[in-house]
Structure 1
Amino acid sequence: MTELIWVGSAYLIGLIANRLMLPPLVGYLIAGYALHAAGISALQTLNHLADIGIELLLFSVGLKLKPSSLIRREVLAVGGTHLLLTTAVSGLVFLWLDKQVTGGLMLGVSLSFSSTVLAIKELEDSGELTSLHGRDVLSILIFQDLVAIGLLAFADGRQPTPWAAALLFLPLLRPLAHRLFDLTKAAELKLLLGVTLALAGGVLAEQVHISRDIGALLTGVMLASHSNIDELTDKIWGLKEVFLVAFFLQIGLTDLPNAEQARMAAALLLLLPLQGGLFFAFFLAAGLRARTAFVSSLALTTYSEFALITTNAMVNSGLLTAEWRSVISLALAGSLAIAAPLNRFSRPIFQWLEPILGRFERQSGSIHPDKIPETLGVAEWLVMGMGRTGISAYRALSAQEKRVVGFDADPTVIEQLLNEGRRVIYGDAEDSELWLELPLDKVKGVILTLPELELRASAITQLRECGFRGLIGTLCYHFDEQAVLIDLGADFVLHPRIETGNQIVQRMLDADAQ
């Protein structure tokens, strides 16, 4: 019965939060507070589920971890400088207040973390997780997560055994883990393998007196570079979300915040614009355009779930007083409630602020790949989105000796296609500056193969508004999309499945006629 009350309350209040355009996580925390007020306490079962959720979170971070993505200028300069600055300020404040300076320094590190859950969800929903700024944000989040793991290891307070160093060799078992993953064909068994490895890493770490989370991260790294890991990553991410509900309920069930704690949380929320401003300034210093810097900064302007986890560990080890649990949980919930709608409307907000923010952009000396190309050469056809459909369109135009150039927002895709001898340029379809500044006077047609309807619609609208009179061809995946895209200005809209069926029938009839 108790479990039903936990889950049902989390669902109902999470649903209300979601309908109010807030992250469900905010609802889970409120549900915990409501249950505590109703006299319902957290049992050991809930705590155990919360621990599993954290292990799965770290395992999923390990699956995404690529060392090469963490040593780039944007990650080290932006993420590292922001972390050091926030930590230094927090330590000075605690020293001035004559409080626990060690705990204050560690709290500063925690407050520099951004919400992995919210940022990745917003980037996935907008189809920008693999874009240039999406990869920068993801790499900084992973960098922060790794720092958080080190913080947890320090706060844990246990003396590792001499065998603890052996955990570092877990990633060397990658060939064995990949072989085991290849032998596992069924999707549900792959998910079960992932959970098993996450829990096994936790058990191994516990045996050598290391935080279970570190073991889960290292077993995730074992599978990180597998070519077919995306399916497992998605499933683990979803499963982790379910278990983390227990963690957020547990925080709320621990204690209700008092008025003083609410004031402290509000003070932390007032610092969020400063955090976002620092990220924006550091991204600009790293050479990004104002638009890319703004969208990336907004995705990082939150407090993190890891701040709750590390604060909880510091309270348990005596480095911080117990009141900080409630303060950080309120600050986290408030930051997500503020950030969610801002991220959803980040593009219109930037267009409104562009006359001001654009002044801070570096005007020269920047060779960053998000720079808008000044010329298209002799190109007469553009293909926006170089996935399978986009590459097919590019090849078809090239085969007929048409002058074509491809655009994509994923730096990895661009690098791969350039190595194959394709002419491909970085370009974000939602970037209004791209369509305004591109020399389109010689372009005969633009083909849009972007997966999201919102991106295709936005690109068509901006092309027509900037005066483009050439042909626009695009795709639709649902029947009600065709009329929308035509009304916006598309000349040709094809449904891939319908066209595939037509092509199969035509080829079979041609073969039968012979």
Structure 2
Amino acid sequence: MEGSLLQSVFIFLAFACLIVPVSKWAGLGPVIGYLVAGVLIGPFALGFISDPTTILHFSEFGVVMMLFLIGMELQPRELWKMKGQLLGLGATQVFVTTFAIAACVYVMGKYWGEAIVIGMALALSSTAIAIQIMQDRGMMTTEVGKSGFSVLLFQDVAVIAMIAILPALALPGGESVTDAAHGTSSGHGPAESHGPSGWLLGLSIFGVFGGMILSGRLLLRPLFKFIARMGVRETFTAMALLLVVGSALLMQWLGLSAALGAFIAGVVLADSDYRHQLERDIEPFKALLLGLFFMSVGMSIDFATLMQNPTTIFALLTGLIGIKFLILIVIARTAKMEKLSASLFAILLSQGGEFAFVLSQFALSAHAMTQETATIMNAVVALSMATTPLLLLLFDKIVAKRINTATLKTGPVPQDEGNNVLVLGFGRVGQMAARLLGTQDISATLIDYDGDHIELTAKFGSRVFYGDASDMDLLRTAGADHMNIIVVAIDNVDKTTRIVKDIKSEFPKAKVIARARNRNHMYDLLDAGVDFAERETLRGGLALGREALRYLGMTDERSEQVAREFLSHDFASIKESMEMREDEEALIAHSHKARDTIKQALQSDARHWGNTEET
């Protein structure tokens, strides 16, 4: 079914809206949903879009925008702060995995240059899949989350170098890799050199990269400052897109990749003073653009090749995951990770990544890889992405069975009225709540996703369960039906709200106390029926303000009184403003009124305190 561009866009969006929510509901994540949607509308399934040119255009646009968005995340200053983990974990993973896979491919009879290209491509993991899983599970602040993010970040940075050296690995004269390999006595020897130097093309990429970074610092900052003074918000987005398109055109003019230009444009903007404004403007399109890329990948999977070589594909898939898993386990254990954390770390990064598709396109253009190899490699990478959620489900079941069964053997949930507490999330906030309860001989039952943390806590006699705090069946197993209080202390805003709603529905007798990220999150939690919620930064901010008042000469007792009254008025203000939170003008007016009210109340108290001190 062929048609206009609008028809193709409609098909893309329709299948994304249908398939992606189902995939997320099934626990597979949106990336798998986008891949499946792409497969369904592509030429090897329903055939709604079968023109290779159409697929290529969508894919190129998706790749360009993906590289631009990833470049926006790479602030040079942040990279410098993480240099230890980036060079320790990240560099080790990329280099060891690249050469391990390249060695295996070389032994299988491939030309040495193609083997290195394959090794580089398969050493990369899926940033989109791994980051999303870590965010959904609240793992970003854990050891696994920090280590995983460091490796992924190094991989994203390393891609620029990988793309740069591809021309140096190309065969001279556009000769096919297969022919060159077989043209030597051993099948791996060097080919005779003809044509332009690959190293020269590679160095030109670094030269353009440095020139764009330098010009960005000298020209972009004053330019964006001028745009800011104009006060036209849309101009920021237009300027960012102009920079992307201009960088892409510059690269094409030099005979290089447009996507590489977009990546450099993103890096240039990452260090801009107006980066956050640009991110806010582009954020609504970010997920959809990445989804577009994954759908184009799904459309491009050659199922004819899969059906012709199912055994080969399965063997390569197993080998890829096995090699990466073993290398990641060794790296994690060398970095002194506990066994469970190391296993989870290895599973999260064991799949192939989206940049493998990008590198395969560049490698084909540089004559560094055959079309047959690229087709098989892309199929293996796409299938490996689908294995990650499945491996995590298996990991969760094994770990949960071991830990939760051991917990249940310690005895049933206490039936005493008034002291049964369940804490969901055992990070910094959950730990503090549980420790305070412990001082009053109230032993809380804990649920968390950090297996090593849970096992360590269990050694101290706590009742602990491993798993997803949003799983109501797990909460029921942990004794939620008998709990007087359930504390929701996880740091995922949307997930916290969903959990509160489900708890109020499934366990209506329990009082629910939750951690709120900010004022808007407070509104959502109150709508969900929470009995009490506390903004995580509120008490800290009040403490700082109270100390500032003391240094300015206010007595300890008075500063405490001011803080308490401010807190009381703030809670009242939140409840009063709930109904008007969608009306920005009314909310602003209420905010001014509430500020005046608390100011008058505190001034009245100040006069009272002054009279008291005089008497």
- Normalising by structure 2, we get a TM-score of 0.57
Could you list the per-position Cα deviations for residues 442-491 of structure 1 after superposition, in whole angstroms to 9, with x for gaps in the alignment?
Answer: xxxx9958453757999xxxxxxxxxxxx9874454236545889xxxxx
The aligned counterpart of 2:149 is 138
* Shift of residue 293, structure 1, vs aligned partner: 3.4
* Shift of residue 221, structure 1, vs aligned partner: 1.6
Secondary structure at the residue paired with 1:319? Answer: coil
1:479 paired with 2:521, answer no
* Shift of residue 303, structure 1, vs aligned partner: 0.8
The CA distance in 2 between the partners of 1:61 and 1:241, in whole Å, is: 10
After TM superposition, the structure 1 = structure 2 runs for residues 4-403 of structure 1, keeping only pairs within 5 Å, are 4-5=7-8, 6-7=11-12, 8-9=14-15, 11-34=17-40, 35-37=42-44, 38=46, 40-67=49-76, 69=79, 72-129=83-140, 133-155=144-166, 160=201, 165-172=207-214, 173-174=216-217, 176-181=219-224, 183-184=227-228, 188-226=234-272, 229-230=275-276, 232-233=278-279, 234-235=283-284, 237-245=286-294, 247-252=296-301, 256-271=304-319, 272-343=321-392, 350=399, 384=428
Secondary structure at the residue paired with 2:150? Answer: helix
* Shift of residue 64, structure 1, vs aligned partner: 1.6
The CA distance in 2 between the partners of 1:25 and 1:44, in whole Å, is: 23
The CA distance in 2 between the partners of 1:110 and 1:53, in whole Å, is: 18
User: Are the aligned partners of 2:340 and 2:451 in contact in 1 as well (CA < 8 Å)?
Assistant: no
Query: Which region of structure 1 is more displaced relative to structure 2, 63-72 or 198-207?
Result: 63-72
* Shift of residue 224, structure 1, vs aligned partner: 1.5
The CA distance in 1 between the partners of 2:355 and 2:202, in whole Å, is: 26
* Shift of residue 117, structure 1, vs aligned partner: 1.1
Secondary structure at the residue paired with 2:43? Answer: helix
The CA distance in 2 between the partners of 1:228 and 1:65, in whole Å, is: 15
After TM superposition, the structure 1 = structure 2 runs for residues 412-491 of structure 1, keeping only pairs within 5 Å, are 431-432=453-454, 450-452=491-493, 474-475=515-516, 477-479=524-526, 481-482=528-529
- Which amino acid letter does the alignment assign opposite residue 21 of structure 1? G
The CA distance in 1 between the partners of 2:394 and 2:295, in whole Å, is: 30
* Shift of residue 49, structure 1, vs aligned partner: 3.1
The CA distance in 2 between the partners of 1:124 and 1:451, in whole Å, is: 7
The aligned counterpart of 1:400 is none
- Which amino acid letter does the alignment assign opposite residue 169 of structure 1? G
Query: Which region of structure 1 is more displaced relative to structure 2, 132-141 or 116-125?
Result: 132-141
Q: Which runs of 4+ in 1 moved over 6 A?
A: 344-348, 437-440, 455-458, 494-497, 511-514
Could you list the per-position Cα deviations for residues 55-103 of structure 1 after superposition, in whole angstroms to 9, with x for gaps in the alignment?
Answer: 2222222222144536634332333233333333333333333222321
Query: Which region of structure 1 is more displaced relative to structure 2, 322-331 or 11-20?
Result: 11-20
- Which amino acid letter does the alignment assign opposite residue 262 of structure 2? A
| Structure 1: unaligned runs, 5 residues or longer | 356-381, 394-427, 441-445, 459-470, 487-493
Secondary structure at the residue paired with 2:51? Answer: coil
* Shift of residue 501, structure 1, vs aligned partner: 4.6
Distance 1:205-1:284 versus aligned 2 partners, 3 A rule = same
The CA distance in 1 between the partners of 2:372 and 2:248, in whole Å, is: 29
Secondary structure at the residue paired with 1:160? Answer: helix
Distance 1:344-1:326 versus aligned 2 partners, 3 A rule = same
Say which structure, 1 or 2, has more relative contact order (CA 8 Å, 6+ apart): 1
* Shift of residue 350, structure 1, vs aligned partner: 4.6
User: Are the aligned partners of 1:14 and 1:28 in contact in 2 as well (CA < 8 Å)?
Assistant: yes
Larger Rg: 2
Distance 1:123-1:300 versus aligned 2 partners, 3 A rule = same
* Shift of residue 162, structure 1, vs aligned partner: 8.7
- Which amino acid letter does the alignment assign opposite residue 220 of structure 2? A
Could you list the per-position Cα deviations for residues 284-336 of structure 1 after superposition, in whole angstroms to 9, with x for gaps in the alignment?
Answer: 21233445434433321211111122123334444333233332333233222
Could you list the per-position Cα deviations for residues 245-285 of structure 1 after superposition, in whole angstroms to 9, with x for gaps in the alignment?
Answer: 46325523x66334344333322332314422321321221
Could you list the per-position Cα deviations for residues 414-458 of structure 1 after superposition, in whole angstroms to 9, with x for gaps in the alignment?
Answer: xxxxxxxxxxxxxx8994357557999xxxxx9958453757999
User: Are the aligned partners of 1:95 and 1:101 in contact in 2 as well (CA < 8 Å)?
Assistant: yes
The CA distance in 1 between the partners of 2:531 and 2:329, in whole Å, is: 35
The CA distance in 2 between the partners of 1:175 and 1:132, in whole Å, is: 39
User: Are the aligned partners of 1:198 and 1:219 in contact in 2 as well (CA < 8 Å)?
Assistant: yes
The CA distance in 2 between the partners of 1:330 and 1:338, in whole Å, is: 13
* Shift of residue 118, structure 1, vs aligned partner: 0.8
The aligned counterpart of 2:562 is none
User: Are the aligned partners of 1:62 and 1:224 in contact in 2 as well (CA < 8 Å)?
Assistant: yes
The CA distance in 1 between the partners of 2:221 and 2:255, in whole Å, is: 27
The CA distance in 2 between the partners of 1:483 and 1:281, in whole Å, is: 44
Secondary structure at the residue paired with 2:132? Answer: helix
Count of residues paired in the alignment: 426
The aligned counterpart of 2:191 is none
The aligned counterpart of 1:500 is 574
The CA distance in 2 between the partners of 1:120 and 1:434, in whole Å, is: 26
Secondary structure at the residue paired with 1:256? Answer: helix
The CA RMSD over aligned residues, in Å, is 4.5
User: Are the aligned partners of 1:56 and 1:195 in contact in 2 as well (CA < 8 Å)?
Assistant: no
User: Are the aligned partners of 2:97 and 2:123 in contact in 1 as well (CA < 8 Å)?
Assistant: yes
